[in-house]
């Protein structure tokens, strides 16, 4: 077969909304038939805007987009009849059933009546939705909605398939299913554009268009990108207190970036830099670079290791008191058991992760432990205080940060800080000192008067962290704290958390984001309302290691453990 044709050609595409800085700046690149092209970048990088430009739903401010040979400015109708598009929220009518949604899109796309039965049958089998044909779309799980969205986009076999963040809010198993389906499609010559904020997905793509703040940082095969850092990525093991070690290492000259990976540390060195000095007993070895390493390198390296916020805080006593205790926590909604008999103890100074697919019960467990939900049975304790008895007292000692930016968007940074200081009972000098410290550490002054909702995502994230840390809490509850943010901001965030943990702060974090899981000391894997595995990230990975897969990733471990649990359940049922 000859070189695949370019289905989409971008030439110097620019898009500006109002007075805001350009959403896209001079972006060029191609999408080819028979390949998966990853449109990769953190939230707010311009991915959705670029896809909308390709569908002809928006007009570029400058440059040209040619899609399937048509200019999007003049020939949007021709493009729209030949592409498949799945927008971010899948574009489904929640009040209509699976079958009705498909019929609607079949009619809109002009699928001939004669072919309909066969196509529906094929797609419903392909997406495994046959059993749910009569169910309303609003009652489907996230993964099922996404598959239905895909089915609707595929009704009339498109030449180009545009998928806007199909992986958001979907667990790794469903995401792998979807990926497999899309790969099947490319074999028929269809070109697929897959937008994602997960950098690990980029590596699996045939080609990548990497966006950051509206600029294309890279266009080409992902190996070309990772090739740039080849030989500069190392894994350091046996280093003891890895969080302190990391804080020191990233400040060493020649170290571009460092992250925690279970018990080890991953380092990215500058070009031609010497290996940093290591304590005795530590082993360092070169390892395979990842896309994220190259991205961070391209952005100029990660942040330093000093956390001013942790430095300004007194250490909590160094004891082994259990700061978070779940004792047989169970929550039922009607006949549905969202969480069943969940127990664990988190000692002071530990990062504990709740990992699991959406709807598995990790949020329910999390909410019971920070007092947002009352358990049906069992007890939760924070800092030794029973949540069912003295909830307000317990809540005074915890800090909370949610994935969805949950600050007051219309209030300015200063007003938000003042509010949270007030709510946690800070007044007078202490209030001024703490809010002043936050402003200084997080560099808020330039934006102090702006409504919080207009801030860039990274700054919002910092503000949320500042609000959660205002009252120097002993326990931190983090709900998917860094999903969608750029890798630099994510590193900065964990740098603060790591330093705080060293001061004796205890952290409970929920995530379905594998990178975040690596930062945890221990993880409880929640699936179908139960804890199916508990251990350190490395323990979990080791548990699933096999001859085929000697060095599984966290995601591999997750998928294997969930499948194992499914198999057990079926056995029990049989």
Partner 1 sequence: MSLTRLLALILKELLAVMRDPKGRIVLIAPPVMQLLIFSTAATLEVRNVDVMVLDQDHGHWSEELTARIAGAPTVKRVLPADSPDMLRRAIEERSVIAGVWIGSDFTRRVTAGRPATVQVILDGRRSNASQILASYLGEIATRLSLETPLGTQITGQLITVEPRNWFNANLADKWFMVPNLIASIALLVGLIVTALSIARERELGTFDQLMVSPLRVHEILIGKVVPPMIIGLGHITLFILAALLIFHVPLRGSLGLLYGSAVFYLAAVVGIGLFISALSMTQQQAILGAFLFLVPAMLLSGFATPVENIPSWLQPLCDINPLRYFLVVVRGVFLKDIGVDEVIRQTIPIALIAAVALTAAAWLFRRRME
Partner 2 sequence: MNASRRFVALVRKEGTQALRDPSTLLIAGVLPFILLFLFGYGVSLDSTHTRLAVVVEAPSPLTDDLLASFTASSYFDVTTGRDRRAYEGELVAGRVRGIVVVPQTFTADVAAGRGGTVQMIVDGTDPNTASLVQAYTEGAIANWQGMRATERGSDATQPINLVPRYWYNAELTSRNFLVPGSIAIVMTLVGTLLTSLVLAREWERGTMEAIMATPVTAFEMLAGKVLPYFVLGLVAMTVCVVLAVGLFGVPFRGSVVALYALSAAFLLPALGQGLLISAVTKNQFLASQLALLSAFLPAFLLSGFIFEIQSMPQPIRWLTYLVPARYLIPSLQTVFLAGDIWPMFGRAIAMLLLFGALFLGLAARATKKRID
CB of 528 to partner 1, least distance (A): 22
Of partner 1, partner 2, none, which one sits near residue 87, judging by CB under 5 to 8 A according to partner kind?
partner 2
Of partner 2, partner 1, none, which one sits near residue 415, judging by CB under 5 to 8 A according to partner kind?
partner 1
CB of 171 to partner 1, least distance (A): 21
Q: Which stretch binds partner 2 (CB under 8 A): 94-102, 173-181, 304-312, 419-427?
A: 94-102
Of partner 1, partner 2, none, which one sits near residue 425, judging by CB under 5 to 8 A according to partner kind?
partner 1
CB of 431 to partner 1, least distance (A): 8
Binding status of residue 407 toward partner 1 by CB under 8 A:
yes
440-477: b or e for each residue (b if 16 or more CB lie within 10 Å)? Answer: ebbebeebeeeebeebebbbbbbbbbbbbbbbbbbbbb
Binding status of residue 162 toward partner 1 by CB under 8 A:
no
Q: Which residue in the set 105, 519, 527, 558 belongs to the binding site for partner 2 (CB under 8 A)?
A: 105
Rounded Cα distance between 244 and 239, Å, is 10
Question: In which element (H, E) is residue 257 found?
Answer: strand 255-261
Binding status of residue 373 toward partner 1 by CB under 8 A:
yes
Rounded Cα distance between 203 and 370, Å, is 37
Of partner 2, partner 1, none, which one sits near residue 240, judging by CB under 5 to 8 A according to partner kind?
none
Residue 237 CA: distances (Å) to CA of 247, 283, 565: 15, 5, 31
Per-residue contact track with partner 2, 122 to 161, x per CB under 8 A?
Answer: --------------x---------------x---------
Sign of torsion over alpha carbons 226, 232, 238, 244: negative
Longest dimension (CA), the chain: 77
Q: Which residue in the set 374, 389, 432, 563 belongs to the binding site for partner 1 (CB under 8 A)?
A: 374
Give 385's strand partners. 382
CB of 1 to partner 2, least distance (A): 29
Q: Which stretch binds partner 2 (CB under 8 A): 91-99, 182-190, 361-369, 373-381?
A: 91-99
Rounded Cα distance between 134 and 551, Å, is 43
Return the SS3 of 550.
Answer: coil
Site for partner 1 in 463-522 (CB under 8 A): 467, 477
Of partner 1, partner 2, none, which one sits near residue 12, judging by CB under 5 to 8 A according to partner kind?
none
Rounded Cα distance between 5 and 540, Å, is 44
Which is closer to partner 2, CB of 86 or CB of 229?
A: 86
Q: What is the DSSP letter of 520?
A: -
Q: What backbone torsions phi and psi does residue 500 show, to the nearest 5 degrees?
A: -65, -40
Of partner 2, partner 1, none, which one sits near residue 392, judging by CB under 5 to 8 A according to partner kind?
partner 1
CB 401 within 8 A of CB 478: yes
Of partner 2, partner 1, none, which one sits near residue 564, judging by CB under 5 to 8 A according to partner kind?
none
Q: Which residue in the set 7, 92, 296, 338 belongs to the binding site for partner 2 (CB under 8 A)?
A: 92
Of partner 2, partner 1, none, which one sits near residue 427, judging by CB under 5 to 8 A according to partner kind?
partner 1
Q: Which residue in the set 12, 71, 80, 116 belongs to the binding site for partner 2 (CB under 8 A)?
A: 80
Binding status of residue 88 toward partner 2 by CB under 8 A:
yes
- The candidate with the shortest Cα–Cα distance to 457, out of 434, 482, 433, is 482
The position carrying tokens 């409880």 is 524
Give 476's strand partners. 399, 507
Which is closer to partner 1, CB of 412 or CB of 498?
A: 412
Q: Which residue in the set 39, 50, 58, 182 belongs to the binding site for partner 2 (CB under 8 A)?
A: 58
- Bridge-based pairing of strands 160-163 and 398-401 is unpaired
Q: Which residue in the set 21, 94, 315, 410 belongs to the binding site for partner 2 (CB under 8 A)?
A: 94
The position carrying tokens 């992760």 is 353
Binding status of residue 281 toward partner 2 by CB under 8 A:
no
Which is closer to partner 1, CB of 114 or CB of 392?
A: 392
Q: What is the DSSP letter of 497?
A: H
Number of amino acids touching partner 1 (CB under 8 A): 35
Q: What is the CA radius of gyration of the chain?
A: 25
- The candidate with the shortest Cα–Cα distance to 412, out of 469, 452, 444, is 452
- The candidate with the shortest Cα–Cα distance to 405, out of 442, 360, 364, 451, is 451
Q: Which residue in the set 96, 173, 270, 544 belongs to the binding site for partner 2 (CB under 8 A)?
A: 96
Neighbour-count burial of 6, counting CB atoms closer than 10 A to its CB (0-12 exposed, 13-18 middle, 19+ buried): middle
Length of the chain in terms of residues written:
574
CB 85 within 8 A of CB 162: yes
CB 347 within 8 A of CB 361: no
CB of 88 to partner 2, least distance (A): 6
Which is closer to partner 1, CB of 46 or CB of 371?
A: 371
- Sorted by sequence, the CB contacts under 8 Å of residue 289 that are 6+ apart come out as 226, 227, 229, 230, 232, 233
Of partner 2, partner 1, none, which one sits near residue 86, judging by CB under 5 to 8 A according to partner kind?
partner 2
Give 193's strand partners. 37, 162
Which is closer to partner 1, CB of 241 or CB of 423?
A: 423
Rounded Cα distance between 500 and 474, Å, is 9
Binding status of residue 315 toward partner 1 by CB under 8 A:
no
Q: Which residue in the set 311, 315, 423, 448 belongs to the binding site for partner 1 (CB under 8 A)?
A: 423
The position carrying tokens 């609607």 is 104
Binding status of residue 322 toward partner 1 by CB under 8 A:
no
Cα 442–chain centre separation: 22
Binding status of residue 451 toward partner 1 by CB under 8 A:
yes
Of partner 1, partner 2, none, which one sits near residue 95, judging by CB under 5 to 8 A according to partner kind?
partner 2
Residues making contact with partner 1 (CB under 8 A)? 367, 370-374, 392-393, 395-396, 398, 400, 402, 404-411, 415, 418-427, 451, 467, 477
Residues making contact with partner 2 (CB under 8 A)? 17, 52, 55-59, 76-77, 80-81, 83, 85-96, 100, 103-105, 107-110, 136, 152
């Amino acid at each position: 077969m000859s070189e695949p044709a370019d289905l989409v050609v971008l030439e110097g595409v620019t898009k500006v909304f109002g007075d805001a800085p350009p959403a896209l700046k001079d972006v060029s690149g191609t999408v080819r038939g028979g390949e998966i092209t990853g449109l990769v970048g953190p939230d707010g990088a311009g991915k959705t805007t670029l896809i909308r430009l390709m569908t002809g739903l928006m007009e570029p401010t400058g440059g040209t987009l040619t899609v399937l040979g048509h200019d999007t400015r003049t020939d949007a109708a021709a493009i729209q009849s030949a592409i498949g598009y799945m927008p971010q929220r899948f574009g489904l009518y929640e009040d209509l059933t699976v079958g009705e949604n498909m019929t609607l899109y079949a009619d809109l796309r002009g699928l001939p009546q004669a072919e309909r039965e066969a196509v529906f049958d094929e797609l419903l089998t392909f997406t495994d939705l046959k059993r749910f044909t009569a169910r309303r779309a609003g009652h489907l799980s996230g993964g099922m909605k996404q598959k239905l969205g895909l089915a609707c986009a595929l009704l009339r076999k498109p030449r180009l398939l545009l998928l806007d963040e199909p992986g958001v809010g979907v667990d790794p198993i469903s995401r792998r299913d979807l990926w497999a389906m899309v790969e099947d499609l490319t074999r028929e010559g269809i070109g697929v554009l897959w937008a994602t904020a997960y950098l690990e997905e980029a590596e699996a793509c045939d080609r990548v268009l990497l966006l950051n703040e509206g600029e294309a940082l890279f266009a080409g095969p992902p190996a070309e990108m990772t090739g740039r850092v080849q030989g500069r990525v190392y894994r350091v093991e046996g280093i003891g207190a890895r969080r302190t070690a990391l804080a020191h290492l990233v400040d060493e000259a020649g170290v571009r970036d460092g992250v925690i990976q279970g018990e080890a540390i991953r380092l990215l060195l500058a070009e031609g830099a010497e290996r940093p000095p290591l304590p005795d007993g530590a082993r360092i070895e070169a390892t395979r670079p990842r896309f994220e390493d190259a991205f961070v390198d391209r952005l100029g390296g990660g942040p330093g290791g000093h956390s001013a916020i942790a430095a300004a805080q007194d250490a909590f006593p160094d004891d082994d008191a259990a700061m978070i205790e779940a004792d047989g926590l169970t929550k039922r909604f009607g006949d549905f058991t969202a969480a069943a008999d969940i127990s664990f103890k988190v000692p002071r100074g530990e990062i504990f992760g709740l990992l699991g697919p959406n709807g598995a019960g990790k949020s329910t467990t999390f909410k019971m432990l920070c007092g947002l939900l009352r358990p049906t049975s069992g007890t939760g304790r924070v800092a030794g205080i029973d949540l069912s008895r003295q909830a307000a007292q317990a809540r005074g000692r915890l800090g909370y940060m949610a994935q969805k930016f949950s600050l007051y968007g219309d209030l300015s940074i200063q007003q938000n800080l003042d509010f949270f200081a007030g709510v946690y009972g800070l007044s007078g000098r202490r209030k001024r000192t703490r809010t002043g410290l936050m402003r200084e550490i997080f560099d808020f002054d330039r934006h102090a008067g702006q409504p919080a909702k207009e801030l860039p995502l990274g700054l919002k994230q910092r503000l949320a962290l500042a609000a959660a840390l205002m009252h120097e809490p002993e326990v931190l509850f983090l709900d998917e704290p860094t999903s969608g943010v750029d890798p630099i901001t994510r590193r900065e965030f964990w740098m603060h958390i790591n330093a705080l943990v060293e001061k004796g702060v205890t952290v409970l974090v929920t995530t379905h984001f594998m990178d975040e899981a690596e930062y945890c000391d221990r993880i409880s894997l929640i699936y179908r309302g139960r804890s199916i595995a508990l251990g350190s990230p490395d323990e979990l990975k080791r548990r699933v290691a096999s001859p085929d897969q000697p060095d599984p990733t966290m995601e591999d471990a997750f998928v294997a453990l969930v499948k194992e649990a499914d198999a057990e359940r079926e056995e029990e049922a049989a």
